[in-house]
């Protein structure tokens, strides 16, 4: 009898037709390595809670727990028009956002693609490009741009770890998600942006700097004041939440009489010492070959930038053992990051008996000469193993923040943005299953909703809150 696989996969899996014992037992071994029991999840949560405490105590800790200097909570009654700029992954987004009160928001926005050259060139080139985009946006979309000498106020969503020192000031700690611009680490990103805008004569003042999670949290709070956490599960991953100021021991100066401040957790960097996370050889290979080895270990197991690459490492492992594609790879599949997370999404979503979409991806996009149904079913199983672990791991930091804030029994709202959460098949259902295993019926008090494109709105809100202080 071949080994039974479905006990390891914690959700519905399809049968693999005609697989040999060798194929089944290797895949079973891999599934075991990627499996996360509820005990393991709890262990990770415990470790993460300790790391949060350390981060609140001192700067420079692994989980950075960055004070955002946003102390106001939106009421939904705010009115006014602000610009927002959102830099964090594939696109740069420029927006004009009008708050009309009663939770009503009107957004004009345009996306500009950030090229690989801009991501990896000099910081000056990147910020000059950003200033150009703001100028173009104002000329094209904002009617009173040239009519009077108005100075626009802008909130800047910058989705990278920044050691923030004021609402409009913060030094870049380290680039993530494939950005490596030179001459920028430890420098103030608002200053660099403002200089670029001034060089071009664009009449904009950058009045607030926020992380995308902080923006997501703020925009979700504008609609639902019960919101505790804002999360991104996209190209990268991270979360932000409202913390009691008295618990942020490392703050030298308490900004005002407020009781709460938003903390940008920067949980992507969790466990860079690899003490608690169940790292496999496929993760280690990815980390070693990445442009930031030993950093963002948690993010590398979860987020959209990396899942396809973990799956690719597994597929090549199977090819090398003659257990997949008859032992043949292709030039395309051999290239790093060629197996995109979007392909995993499409393959996991393929419910046809013959897995036709999987066949198209493998044969037409990745040039594997020919695939059998067994091959395609194995590829689908690999995607399920990697996708399931990502979703279950994602539950840990979310659960930890709720525990840390003592809100397990009270009920909270959580706003989540990002392509993985929005589009990856079963991601949110798997995440909720893990939360149910951890919290039992209390999970029904956690209201999780999609907060699409919230970070831009949030940056404008931060600019508004800063203007009213």
Active site (catalytic) residues: 177, 212
Site for ligand BGC, residues 252 to 281, rule: CB under 6 A = 266, 268
Alpha carbon distance 155, 212 (integer Å): 11
* 118 lies in the binding site for ligand BGC (CB under 6 A): no
Q: Which stretch binds ligand BGC (CB under 6 A): 99-107, 234-242, 306-314, 345-353?
A: 234-242
For residue 334, give the nearest of 368, 382, 369 by alpha carbon: 368
118 vs 211 by CB, closer to ligand BGC = 211
For the chain, how far is it from start to end, CA to CA, in angstroms? 70
Least distance in Å: CB of 212 to ligand BGC? 5
Specify which residues 188 forms β-bridges with: 171
Distance CA 353, CA 355 (A): 6
Nearer to ligand BGC (CB atom), residue 212 or residue 283: 212
Of 242, 204, 230, the residue nearest 70 (C-alpha):
242
Which one of the spans 55-63, 210-218, 361-369, 425-433 is the region binding ligand BGC (CB under 6 A)? 210-218
Should residue 290 be labelled a site residue for ligand BGC when binding is judged by CB under 6 A?
Answer: no
In angstroms, the Cα distances linking 250 to 166, 279, 406 are: 14, 31, 21
Among 238, 290, 341, 396, binds ligand BGC (CB under 6 A): 238
- Is the separation of the CB atoms in 213 and 153 below 8 Å? no
Tell me, residue by residue from 150 to 179, as one string, x for binding to ligand BGC by CB under 6 A and - for no binding: ---------xxx--------------xx--
Site for ligand BGC contains 298 (CB under 6 A) = no
Rounded Cα distance between 298 and 279, Å, is 10
Q: Which stretch binds ligand BGC (CB under 6 A): 74-82, 197-205, 229-237, 272-280?
A: 229-237
- CB of 23 or CB of 235, closer to ligand BGC: 235
Q: Which of 51, 299, 348, 437 binds ligand BGC (CB under 6 A)?
A: 299
Are 266 and 238 within 8 A, CB to CB? Answer: yes
What's the closest the beta carbon of residue 297 comes to ligand BGC, in angstroms? Answer: 12
Polymer length of the chain: 469
Query: Residue 350, class by beta-carbon neighbours within 10 Å (0-12 exposed, 13-18 middle, 19+ buried)?
Result: buried
CA-wise closest residue to 229 among 75, 221, 445: 221
Which residue has the closest beta carbon to ligand BGC?
A: 236
211: contact with ligand BGC by CB under 6 A? yes
By CB under 6 A, how many residues form the interface with ligand BGC?
Answer: 17
Q: Is there a contact between 66 and 161 (Cβ–Cβ < 8 Å)?
A: yes
Identity of the residue, 209 or 368, whose beta carbon is nearer to ligand BGC in the bound complex: 209
b/e code 67-78 from CB counts within 10 Å (16+ = b): bbbbbbbbeeeb
Nearer to ligand BGC, 268 or 425 (CB): 268
Q: How far is the CB of 106 from ligand BGC (least distance, A)?
A: 25
Determine if 232 is a binding residue for ligand BGC (CB under 6 A). yes
Question: Beta strands of 28-132 (E only): which ranges?
Answer: 66-67, 79-87, 91-100, 105-113
Q: Is 68 in the site for ligand BGC (CB under 6 A)?
A: no
Residue 19 CB, nearest distance to ligand BGC (Å)?
Answer: 37
Which lies closer to ligand BGC via its Cβ, residue 375 or residue 417?
417
Task: List residues binding ligand BGC (CB under 6 A).
Answer: 88, 159-161, 176-177, 211-213, 232, 234, 236-238, 266, 268, 299
């Amino acid at each position: 009898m071949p080994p039974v696989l479905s006990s390891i996969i914690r959700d519905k899996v399809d049968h693999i037709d005609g697989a040999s014992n060798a194929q089944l037992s290797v895949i079973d071994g891999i599934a075991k390595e990627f499996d996360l029991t509820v005990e393991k999840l709890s262990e990770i949560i415990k470790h993460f809670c300790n790391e949060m405490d350390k981060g609140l105590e001192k700067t420079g800790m692994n989980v950075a727990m960055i004070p955002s200097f946003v102390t106001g909570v939106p009421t939904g009654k705010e009115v006014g028009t602000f610009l927002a700029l959102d830099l964090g992954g594939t696109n740069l987004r420029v927006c004009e956002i009008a708050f009309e009160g009663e939770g009503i928001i009107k957004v004009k926005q345009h996306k500009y693609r950030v090229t690989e050259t801009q991501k990896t060139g000099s910081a000056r080139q990147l910020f000059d490009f950003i200033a150009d985009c703001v100028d173009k946006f104002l000329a094209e979309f904002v009617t009173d741009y040239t009519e009077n000498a108005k100075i626009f106020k802008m909130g800047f969503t910058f989705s990278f770890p920044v050691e923030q020192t004021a609402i409009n000031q913060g030094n870049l700690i380290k680039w993530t998600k494939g950005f490596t611009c030179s001459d920028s680490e430890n420098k103030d990103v608002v200053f660099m942006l403002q200089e670029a805008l001034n060089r071009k004569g664009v009449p904009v003042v950058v009045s607030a700097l926020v992380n995308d999670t902080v923006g997501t949290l703020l925009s979700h709070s504008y609609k639902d004041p019960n919101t505790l956490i804002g999360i991104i599960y996209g190209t990268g991953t991270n979360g932000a939440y409202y913390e009691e100021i008295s618990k942020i021991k490392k703050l030298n100066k308490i900004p005002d009489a407020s009781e709460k401040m938003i903390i940008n957790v920067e949980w992507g960097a969790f466990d860079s010492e690899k003490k608690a996370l169940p790292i496999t050889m496929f993760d280690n290979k990815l980390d070693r070959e990445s442009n930031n080895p030993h950093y963002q270990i948690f993010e590398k197991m979860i987020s959209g930038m990396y899942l396809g690459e973990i799956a690719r490492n597994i597929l090549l492992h199977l090819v090398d053992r003659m257990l997949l594609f008859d032992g043949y790879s292709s030039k395309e599949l051999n290239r790093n990051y060629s197996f995109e997370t979007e392909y995993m999404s499409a393959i996991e979503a393929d419910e046809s008996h013959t897995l036709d979409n999987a066949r198209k991806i493998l044969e037409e996009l990745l040039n594997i000469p020919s695939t059998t149904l067994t091959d395609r079913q194995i590829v689908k199983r690999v995607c399920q193993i990697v996708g399931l672990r990502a979703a279950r791991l994602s539950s840990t930091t979310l659960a930890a923040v709720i525990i840390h804030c003592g809100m397990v029994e009270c009920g909270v709202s959580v706003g989540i943005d990002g392509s993985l959460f929005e589009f990856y098949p079963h991601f949110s259902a798997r995440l909720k299953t893990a939360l149910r295993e951890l919290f039992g019926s209390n999970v029904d008090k956690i209201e999780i909703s999609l907060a699409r494109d919230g970070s831009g709105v949030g940056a404008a809100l931060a600019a508004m809150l800063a203007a009213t202080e």
